[in-house]
Structure 1
Amino acid sequence: MIGLVLAMVWARRGQAVTLALLTLFGVAAAVAAPAYLRAADRAVAAGEVGTADPASRSLTLNARQHDHREGRSRPDVLAADVDLGKTGSSLLDLPGFDYTYAGEYPTLGIEPSELIRTRLVYRQDACAHLTMAAGRCLIGESDLVIGVATAQRLHLAPGDEIHLRFAFWNSKLRIFVPDGAPKRFLVSGVYRPTDPGEPYWGSHNYFGGDTGGRPGEPAFVTNASINAMDHGPIALSVDGTASPGALAVDKLPAVRAGLATLQQRVAGLGAGIDLDTDLPGMLARIDAGRDAAHRIVPVLAVCLVLLACLTIYLAVGYGTEGRRPELAVVALRGARWGQRWWLATGENLVAILAGALLGCVAGQLLVDAFAAWRFPGVGADPGLEALRWAPAAAVAALVTALLAERRQLGRPVAELLRRVPPAPRAATAIAAEAVVVLLAAVAVAQLAITDGGLTGIGTFATGLVLVAAALVAARLLLPWATVFARRQLRDGRLGAALAAFQISRRPGGARLFALLTAAVSVIAYASSAVDVGDRGRAVQSGVGVGAARVVSVGPVSRQGLLAAVRAADPSGSYAMAAVRLPAEKGRPGVLAVDSARAAAVADWGGFDPSKVATALRPAAGSPASVRGARLSFDITAEKLVAGKSLLVSAVLSPSAGPADETAELGELAPGRHKYVADLPACAAGCDLKAVNLAGRQGASGVTGVVTLHAVGATAADPESPAGLAAGDLATAARWRISDGGTLSAGAGGLRMEVTAIDGDSGGVFVQPADVPTPLPVAVAGPVVSSNVAGLDGRALPVAEVLRLPAIPGVGSPAVLADLEYADRFATDAAPSADPQVWLSPRAPAGILERLRSAGLVVTRDTRAAQVRAGLDRQGPALALWFYALVAVLAAALAAGALVLAAGVDRSRRIEDLSALRAQGLPRVAVLRATLWTYPVLVGAAVVAGTAIALLGWRLTGWALPLAGLDPPAFPLPGLPRPLSLIGTALLTFVLLSGVAVLAGRRTLRGIR
């Protein structure tokens, strides 16, 4: 019997090979999904590690030792005094990490100001990571190396002798105070950091912005120098940096265990030591990326397995249909029931088993090849775990084959001998399809109830929706083929009529159309997911970053930032100053930019920004400008409350920056007096931003009347410009005052009445009313408040003048304002919280040098392209590559089904059309009847399948976590682009129609 079955397989080897290939595709999909997930897990971990900052790939143990000099020890300050040089090695035992010991403290001696300290640092093996621009690196106990910028600024060179003293920061005096005997050092070399961003430097920000608005350049010394110098408290640290491969996905459990142990040990040592690391955050991102991939991949993997089962059902049904006379002969010869089943099913079972075995190998090999292409250097990590779904897929294929053969095996011999098979019972078919539709509805409902939980039956939601809709489409659309055929026959178009009758009257026609429609819907759904995910990552990396490049700079005033950027880019075509304030609870984020440049520099995500500048920067008055290195404030104070001092200060913004100035004029005395402030930065000109009237800390009920008569340079100033005279101050409408005071004006100047201020409130602020009030802003999202947090932290009144879908770099809800106007509202002299320079793709290669030449200290350079590369290496993006594989396999299944259907029908079609040809059917009609049948079916399936894919996407696509690990506050695309769907549909139609035409040509050659 086995030999007979094998002979049957050989006699119909074409059909057997086709069925084996279809089974191979289904089992390969079941194997490829877990195999791909294993490869994706490795790629996700490698991607997160490769794009993480040094703090995320390292850890730092910090300890601050007390001042151990005689009479200086303060054991009550800290609970413990840990010497990391002795205890660090016993704490740090994470596998695969390299450790670096360091110590540092501040010193004075070479900088011209006590506001600027020299950071004296010992770092283990520092010379291996420094490039000497002059001289040599460290050897002896008196050697010291300094940075290039420090050497140029202080005119130091190798061989020079310097003396340094330990210092500490005095918070009351706001200066560094020397506290130790001086130590002689020899400048042995001048260095440049070989790579300031390499993980070796840890998170100490050695080369970021430093005090005095200068780039960070520590003075490096040996460990002997650090210990030999007379010093007070010292900051010690041990940095652990992950070596290559230490954070591979298979080593993460050991890293997690070691990190947990380290955290417990550090907690046991008390407050004298702390652990600083972003490593748990990176491990969490790896887990989140893997979880997203494990949610996305099975969705279409299930679709593909269901599609493979549908294809096998069709293939076996078609094959059994063609063998009806053979089955009738077996039944007539009295074969027992078991023999009939074996002879009927054995041929298909052999092909299915062979295809299942080959599918196990093919699925893993496919993933191996794909991983080698898309994840070079990561590997696919093949293993037996990838085969865990293969038995289920093989069993599903076998059960499907038996169900497809059940109908023919149960038919009487008379029915099997009929040339035209009886029509299937519609009620049974409709009931089966209704069950599938019901399951799809239940799956979608669960998806909605669980808020997109792709678990349980929710994983099957997409596949059930696509298959159910394809079955319904076949049920509704295929009867129209008969109507079309009759009309064509009535009109004398024999070729089209015969092609349509072939589709509508063949028992397997409806199943073939449902299969093709389901395959097209899977392909279109995969295309939709890839398109939406790709565009979402483009939004996150473009509008999310804000511009092609965002350069963060060191502390600088807002006006200084504007002046520096305008000097670096006089044309205003590629650089823009920006200050970004983070969103607070209950308040939107605020972005202030040089709005005249916003349209040319920022990434607006397709929105037309041409109205931004005119909306945010309407006409405004001139600022209140003064000039002089020594300024005099002519003030009269009246009605002061005895015992309650009224203090006055002024905030001025130098036109050239880099920092605003605060003139502390002191306590007001009754009567008219002149209060003088030395402000060298205003020698070239300053804008008066605010006059502050305040009480002392803790005071309340402070009142008084203050008249500002004039502001200008003293007579001793050789320039002696006019400044602000009484005429400039006599118009109260040119000024505004905050709560707690009122304004009036007269011939003598600006009269400010303080009605009630609290010493803890910051007092009353008087400012020039030189910009519109409230400030015009552009708004994105639900911003309902009439004020937002200003650049100085105080409430800023705003008025919406423009509505945007999202604010670049901030998202939604958010507010966009003009930086210069917003700064004129600010009452502080503090530097910007987060000063940035946004650059467009047109920025020249040397733009960073231009910014440095303009006085800015570059601390970080973020590129949208780098962010996009990082997003492309996260779990959601990597998982979508599997959808491309699914689309290819779905197209192969559809093509195989077409080839099988044409092969089974070929002999019958040749016989029928040859007979009609002998009776005079024109050759053209035969050509059309042969070549048009399946391409027309494919065209209808492509249209229906694309529509079903859109329906499936609306019902289930929202649940796919395509937005990345931390979905941003940006309006991300939710639907695929029409051009993407149309392109996918056309490509699918061309491919499947080509297969159908080739199959039809083979049939045509057999017609005589």
Structure 2
Amino acid sequence: MIRTLRGAWSRRGTLLPLLLLTVVVVAGAVAVLGFADAAGTSQLLAAPLLLLAMVAVPATGRELAIARRPEIALARLRGLDGGPLYAVLALEPLLVLLLGGLLGVLGGTALAAVTAEAWVGDAGTPFSSAAVLATFAIVLVGLGAVLVGMVGAVREPLVDQLRLAARPRRTSTGEAFGQVLIVVAALVAAYRSDVGSDADPDALVLVGPALIGLAAGQVGVWLLRGAARLAVRRTAHAAVPAFLASRRLARVADTATALRVLVAAAVVAGLAVTGATQVDDWTSDTARLRAGAPLRYDLDTDATGALALVQRLDPEGRWLMAAVLVPGEGSVPARRAFLDLSRYDAVLGDFYTATPAAGLSSTVALLGSGTPAYAAGGRLSVTVAGVSRRLRGELHPTVDVTYRLPDGTVSSVGLQAELPLSGEPVTTVLPFDVCPQGCEVVGLTLRRAPGDIRLPWVLTDLEVGGLDVLDLDLRSSPTAPTRVATGLMVSTRRAPAEATVGPAPGAVPVLATDTASWRDGDPILDSPGGEDLPARVVARLPALPLVEGDGLLADLPSAATGAPPTVPIAEVMVLARADTPDDLRDALADVARAPRTLDEVEQQVSDASGAAQALVYALMALFCLVAALLVLAAAVARERGAWIRDVAALRVVGLGRERIRAASVVEVGGLLVVAVAASLGGSAAAIALLLGNLPLVDVPVHAVPLSTAVALAPLLALAGIVAALVAIVVGRGRRFGADGSRPAILREQAQR
């Protein structure tokens, strides 16, 4: 064991990348699994990280075998071969993998507890049995991948194993097959995502982002090699830096694996960041549509009571709005919402501006807005006046107000006044406390008392429980009073003048979602009381308040006037602005349930839909980027010695350091362009093909769909990160000084 530890310490530069990579992979897997156990999210979100590790680890195994080539040759000369030789070689990486697994478990467990507490408020049990199995699986698979990487070096001829410098390695048939297999697997993953089940995607779809990233990186490497080989012929007689850079780019053997892993990690990160952005936007939009307003107060009453309550508390219509949601099932039009649209601009304003219902502000005027015909007790006040002074006779104007109680009972109350000969206005007040919870004014009758002189008179003001009846829409009819500048005038006819409250009969204008359709042809709107009303769709929007992605929206006073009592399944509420005065909030608290704020609704939407999965996926993508950075740094470090020898050899033949540096800049630039282009292309493809089918969020029925559009800003930021990583890591690996690359080092290395 001591000999093994000494050997591992002597090869610590080769084993350190394997240790760090194991720590990152195990920590990422344990963190994702621990969070999944606490929050009930998918445990398979760590699949891309595991796939990238399986691709990256064999390179470390190959480098470890190369570092032990003389030892392998000596063992073979002593007759040790086959399984016993692999057992000896596997001991060091096994110890490193176990140590990395232990450190990863500790870090991943702590991270799982922190993220679960921060994102779902429940730390749970961060280290579960699934995490234990995953850790052992990662260690065993990692050991197998290391041994796979050693196969090529172990099977080399003894002459090559005893050679001091490694010969340029060509792509083997197995490696070429694996490269093609990655591209094919990416295509199959895209196909499976398109035809598979959104609710339960298979494992190939879950690793699809990493496969598409690896395929994009591989295609980029192929194009880079092809372009470089073509450039070698074109630059044979051109500038030396271009020729040298083309030669090196045409032989990107070790860097190719690191480049593929970096591109794959960037694609996973691009998909994760876009997904997290879209899920966050979806959660915010859904919460706004579901809440209806910054504050929502649910009531145990019907539409009549809600309208009357709002009219009593906020007669100016600045803070409160009555609303009704009927979450009907069976068809999209059965879901309908009703708002008091006369208060829309004051109460809601730009509340829906950034949501799929953004067009509501410009189309809500098409629905019209009726004045709510609802009163809530108090008093009955009538003001009447004569048309002119009269010379004789008595005139006793009588006003009968017909109203409907919440239980559907229709009743009336009358009041009689006496006009003086001068015809001056007279106000008469009568207590009106028959409907403290609100009632609907449905009509009024204006007449004279028996024996009165047949002269016209005018109803100049009629207030029922704080409701100005003269502001209501009155249906025209042959018996209706004449509307004049000062009010309603009763003519000289003997018959009473009768007026019915409500707009003229006709189709009710509604807004519909894009999904709404009627099987029987003509649009129908079910009123809050369940009465079928002919409807007219004035506009369609992707989403509407309260009904979200499926349903209809209409004006509440217009649809509820004359309707039966509100159906039992209806949700009656008062919507309020965020800056509603405290006195109004206190008054609502006395008659309504506890208010639901927008933040509370958003948290409920996030918890119910598992939106935290998108954050976990982004966290996993961060681990992928860290792993890719380790792989890239290890690959550049492995090439560092050969690169310095190449520089020294070039200086032997008289090539200056400036030209060599210029060639390095061109080489780094070529790798940078390929990495950025492949990352952007792969990310766009993964977003378009896979984002909609990954289990990042559970979109409920009737909700607006999750957008799968490419978010430009995150991808550009990601491209900048990839470019910076390539420029810094590869550029630093290509730096050399005058002493470190002097030609004499070739002789010194040959004498060792």
User: The TM-score by the shorter chain falls in which range?
Assistant: 0.7 to 0.9
Pairing 1:80-119 to 2, within 5 Å after superposition = none
Which residue does 1:451 correspond to in 2?
197
Does the CA-based 8 Å contact 1:26-1:304 persist in structure 2?
yes
From 242, 250, 270, the counterpart of 1:524: 270
Pairing 1:342-491 to 2, within 5 Å after superposition = 347-371=92-116, 378-382=123-127, 386-414=131-159, 417=163, 421=167, 424-425=170-171, 427-440=173-186, 451-452=197-198, 454=200, 457-458=203-204, 460-462=206-208, 465-466=211-212, 469-470=215-216, 472-474=218-220, 476-483=222-229, 486=232, 489=235
Does the CA-based 8 Å contact 1:488-1:496 persist in structure 2?
no
Q: Deviations over 1:832-891 (max 9, x none)?
A: 954422223343454414657xxx823341111111223444572333333233122212
Pairing 1:169-318 to 2, within 5 Å after superposition = 290=40, 293=41, 295=42, 297-299=43-45, 301-318=46-63
What's the secondary structure of 1:424's corresponding residue? coil
Q: Deviations over 1:588-629 (max 9, x none)?
A: 3222223244355043543143323321118x899999x978
Hey, what's the Cα distance between the residues in 2 that align with 1:914 and 1:902? 18
Q: Deviations over 1:530-574 (max 9, x none)?
A: 2222122112211221222112235365497268358627364x5
Letter in 2 for 1:9: A
Does the CA-based 8 Å contact 1:560-1:658 persist in structure 2?
no
Closer/same/farther in 2, CA of residues 776 and 713 from structure 1, 3 Å limit:
farther
Structure number with greater CO (CA < 8 Å, separation at least 6) is: 2
Does the CA-based 8 Å contact 2:295-2:597 persist in structure 1?
yes
From 599, 604, 609, the counterpart of 2:360: 609
Hey, what's the Cα distance between the residues in 1 that align with 2:17 and 2:475? 97
Matched, 1:973 2:707: yes
Hey, what's the Cα distance between the residues in 2 that align with 1:972 and 1:1007? 56
The offset of 1:797, in angstroms, is 1.2
Hey, what's the Cα distance between the residues in 2 that align with 1:562 and 1:733? 26
Hey, what's the Cα distance between the residues in 2 that align with 1:529 and 1:993? 27
State the TM-score, normalized to the length of structure 2.
0.75
Matched, 1:14 2:32: no
What's the secondary structure of 2:610's corresponding residue? helix
Q: Deviations over 1:651-710 (max 9, x none)?
A: 9459xx999972279xxxxxxxxxxxx994799x9986369xxxxxxxxxxxxxxxxxx6
Pairing 1:700-739 to 2, within 5 Å after superposition = 711-712=446-447, 729-730=477-478
Matched, 1:793 2:530: yes
Which residue does 2:392 correspond to in 1?
none
Hey, what's the Cα distance between the residues in 2 that align with 1:973 and 1:727? 46
Which residue does 2:467 correspond to in 1?
none
Hey, what's the Cα distance between the residues in 2 that align with 1:910 and 1:687? 91
Closer/same/farther in 2, CA of residues 629 and 660 from structure 1, 3 Å limit:
farther
Letter in 2 for 1:877: A
Which residue does 1:941 correspond to in 2?
675
Q: Deviations over 1:53-78 (max 9, x none)?
A: xxxxxxxxxxxxxxxxxxxxxxxxxx
Hey, what's the Cα distance between the residues in 2 that align with 1:531 and 1:373? 18
Q: Deviations over 1:501-528 (max 9, x none)?
A: 4343132232222111112122222223
Hey, what's the Cα distance between the residues in 1 that align with 2:502 and 2:667? 79
What's the secondary structure of 1:543's corresponding residue? helix
Which residue does 1:901 correspond to in 2?
635
The offset of 1:972, in angstroms, is 3.2
The offset of 1:298, in angstroms, is 1.3
Hey, what's the Cα distance between the residues in 1 that align with 2:124 and 2:439? 62
Sequence identity (%): 22
The offset of 1:801, in angstroms, is 0.9
Does the CA-based 8 Å contact 2:613-2:696 persist in structure 1?
no
- Gaps spanning 5+ residues in structure 1: where? 45-289, 632-649, 666-677, 692-709, 735-746, 753-765
Q: How many residues align?
A: 668
Pairing 1:543-558 to 2, within 5 Å after superposition = 543-555=289-301, 558=304
Which residue does 1:984 correspond to in 2?
718
The offset of 1:810, in angstroms, is 1.1
Letter in 1 for 2:544: I
Hey, what's the Cα distance between the residues in 1 that align with 2:310 and 2:53? 64
Hey, what's the Cα distance between the residues in 2 that align with 1:774 and 1:712? 32
Which residue does 2:411 correspond to in 1?
663
Hey, what's the Cα distance between the residues in 2 that align with 1:834 and 1:591? 9
Which residue does 2:573 correspond to in 1?
836
Q: Deviations over 1:97-118 (max 9, x none)?
A: xxxxxxxxxxxxxxxxxxxxxx
The offset of 1:774, in angstroms, is 0.9
Hey, what's the Cα distance between the residues in 1 that align with 2:401 and 2:180? 77
The offset of 1:437, in angstroms, is 4.5
Which residue does 2:622 correspond to in 1?
888
Q: CA RMSD in A?
A: 4.7
Which residue does 2:396 correspond to in 1?
none
Which residue does 1:25 correspond to in 2?
24
Does the CA-based 8 Å contact 2:25-2:104 persist in structure 1?
yes
Which residue does 1:816 correspond to in 2?
553
The offset of 1:499, in angstroms, is 4.3
Hey, what's the Cα distance between the residues in 2 that align with 1:714 and 1:690? 19
Hey, what's the Cα distance between the residues in 2 that align with 1:318 and 1:502? 20
Does the CA-based 8 Å contact 1:624-1:687 persist in structure 2?
yes
The offset of 1:24, in angstroms, is 2.6
Letter in 2 for 1:883: Y
Hey, what's the Cα distance between the residues in 2 that align with 1:566 and 1:480? 79
Does the CA-based 8 Å contact 2:304-2:439 persist in structure 1?
no
19-28 or 597-606: bigger deviation? 597-606
Hey, what's the Cα distance between the residues in 2 that align with 1:875 and 1:524? 22
Does the CA-based 8 Å contact 1:805-1:971 persist in structure 2?
no
Closer/same/farther in 2, CA of residues 425 and 505 from structure 1, 3 Å limit:
closer
Pairing 1:511-910 to 2, within 5 Å after superposition = 511-555=257-301, 558=304, 561=307, 564-565=310-311, 568=314, 570=316, 572=318, 574-586=319-331, 587-599=333-345, 601=348, 602-606=351-355, 607-617=358-368, 652=402, 662-663=410-411, 680=432, 689=442, 711-712=446-447, 729-730=477-478, 770-771=503-504, 773-785=506-518, 786-824=523-561, 826-828=562-564, 834-849=571-586, 857-873=591-607, 876-910=610-644
Hey, what's the Cα distance between the residues in 2 that align with 1:806 and 1:374? 28
The offset of 1:750, in angstroms, is 10
What's the secondary structure of 2:292's corresponding residue? coil
Closer/same/farther in 2, CA of residues 521 and 351 from structure 1, 3 Å limit:
same
Closer/same/farther in 2, CA of residues 505 and 922 from structure 1, 3 Å limit:
same
Which residue does 1:179 correspond to in 2?
none
Q: Deviations over 1:246-278 (max 9, x none)?
A: xxxxxxxxxxxxxxxxxxxxxxxxxxxxxxxxx
Hey, what's the Cα distance between the residues in 2 that align with 1:484 and 1:713? 105
Hey, what's the Cα distance between the residues in 1 that align with 2:481 and 2:317? 35
Hey, what's the Cα distance between the residues in 2 that align with 1:729 and 1:816? 29
What's the secondary structure of 1:544's corresponding residue? helix
Which residue does 1:80 correspond to in 2?
none
Closer/same/farther in 2, CA of residues 987 and 839 from structure 1, 3 Å limit:
farther
The offset of 1:800, in angstroms, is 0.9
Hey, what's the Cα distance between the residues in 2 that align with 1:546 and 1:622? 20
Does the CA-based 8 Å contact 2:15-2:64 persist in structure 1?
no
Which residue does 1:337 correspond to in 2?
81
What's the secondary structure of 1:478's corresponding residue? helix
